[in-house]
A and B are shown apart, each in its own frame.
Chain A
Amino acid sequence: MSNTYTLLLKILPRPLANIALALWYLLIMLAIIDRSAVPFAGFIYWDR
């Protein structure tokens, strides 16, 4: 079980925790996809 899900189960009943987790992951994934368009800054460790 993921840490976030464990945390959500402490404060919410299981069905609500499931929905909250799905929405939270969706939000992060959308933010990642959206911000991926930003030019990559050149992480110094990648090419070595």
Chain B
Amino acid sequence: MTDFEIIHFLWLVATCGLTWLLPARWQTDLIAASTLCFIGLLAPWSALWLLGASLLVYASYRAPLGIRPRMTGASVLLIATVFLVYQGIEAYGQASWTIPAMIGLSYYSCRHIHVLMEIYKGNLPSMNLRSYLHYQFFLPTLVAGPIHRYPNFIRQCERRRWDRAQLTGGMERILYGYAKVIIIGNYLLDLELGRILSPLAEHFAGLWLISAKDWLYLYAVFSGYTDVALGFSLILGFRIEENFNAPLKAINLIDFWQRWHITLSSWCRDYVFRPVQAITRNQFIAVSAAMIALGIWHQLSLYYLLWGLYHALGITLCRLYQLHNDPLGLRRLPPLLRHGVTRSATFTWLTGGMPLITTLLATGTI
């Protein structure tokens, strides 16, 4: 484990312990204060921006009805621009530049935009600054998600209570989460399997195998961190949205993106896909916009732009296949064979992106 991870873990343990020692009315305040101290000490610029953007979002909510839509729009633009500029500097900035650490920027920017879009649509339940700060300054989900939603968080704040079953369930989830990250992800997949596969990197088929290993590694590590986040949330009395739902069982690409990083996929669906589809009336353009948004959320680079387009193409082909009523007759196959074929095809498409884009970029085709 890195020093950062150890500090994060110990800070969370201390926060959980202190929270349940306090009277109920101060508990969520303590969690928010603890989060502010954590991020303020380790990444002060990130803390300042998180606080500033939270105040901006709240000001948009409180703005008079006449100017509210323009103010929410401007706030969305500002928050998205700061995020993208930081991503761009991180991807293309020179090695000599000192870039301040912005812990959790990808996640809290999405949460701000979610709340702003709901304010714009008029769907948000009543909000006050204190509850909004509780929502944004929530330590378990600050650094590695999930991108949980405000209305569910507020419901959880009202319902939460001490529960021994939640405590043991949460502790077990944390243990399994770290086991996934450290034993399966970092050790077995990245170190051991990576060592076996690294000599194959010069060939296209080898790159494909490395890509498959990378997807499995990402799944183990990311779902592990999600387990840790949800486990600590459970100990604190919050049931936060799940981020993964057995993505390796997906029967097609549409199904896969409903199972993989669910909170980000649903964010892209609600705030990119649906608005673009409403404007253009074209599903391919809407899917492309959503998948490009999903790609540049990872990194503002040509690679992730192409990555988004590649997956948009996969989803479109999958949708066309469904619309043409199963032209290959897969539904007539025995269930075991059908599932084997569809799952293999899904995983093959997913893992094919990295070798294809890397080869195209390396040969200068694009």
Contacts and interface: CB of A to CB of B under 8 A. Distances in A.
Contact of A45 (B86, B144, B178, B183): B144
A40 B1 contact: yes
A45 B103 CA distance: 9
A3 B172 contact: yes
Interface string A21-44: 000010011011001101011011
A5 B168 contact: yes
Nearest to A31: B183
A48 interface: yes
Tell me which of A1, A40, A46, A48 has the highest count of chain B C-beta atoms within 10 A of its own C-beta.
Answer: A48
A33 B293 CA distance: 38
Contacts of A47: 101-103
B179 A1 contact: no
Given A5-B168, A40-B186, A46 B178 contact: no
Given A35-B183, A43-B221, A1 B1 contact: no
Contact of A1 (B87, B165, B183, B217): B165
A5 B168 CA distance: 10
A48 B169 contact: no
Contacts of A45: 106, 143-145, 222, 225
A10 B188 CA distance: 31
A31 B222 CA distance: 19
A46 B143 CA distance: 6
A2 B168 contact: yes
B29 interface: no
Given A1-B169, A3-B172, A28-B175, A48 B104 contact: yes
Given A45-B144, A46-B4, A48-B90, A32 B183 contact: yes
Please report whether the interface of chain B is mostly helix, strand, loop or mixed according to DSSP.
helix
A26 B5 CA distance: 21
B143 to A, nearest CB: 6
Nearest to A41: B190
Interface in B150-175: 165, 168-169, 171-172, 175
Contacts of A38: 182, 186-187, 191
Contacts of B187: 35, 38
Contact of A4 (B1, B172, B299): B172
Q: Which 7 A-B pairs have the closest CB atoms?
A: A2-B172, A41-B190, A35-B187, A40-B2, A2-B168, A48-B106, A36-B1
Interface of B: 1-2, 4-5, 86-87, 90, 101-106, 143-145, 165, 168-169, 171-172, 175-176, 178-179, 181-183, 185-187, 190-191, 217, 221-222, 225, 298-299
Given A2-B169, A48-B106, 19 more contacts: A1-B168, A2-B168, A25-B175, A31-B183, A35-B182, A36-B1, A38-B182, A40-B5, A41-B185, A41-B190, A41-B191, A43-B225, A45-B106, A45-B145, A46-B103, A46-B143, A47-B102, A48-B104, A48-B105
5 contacts: A5-B168, A38-B187, A40-B2, A46-B103, A48-B105
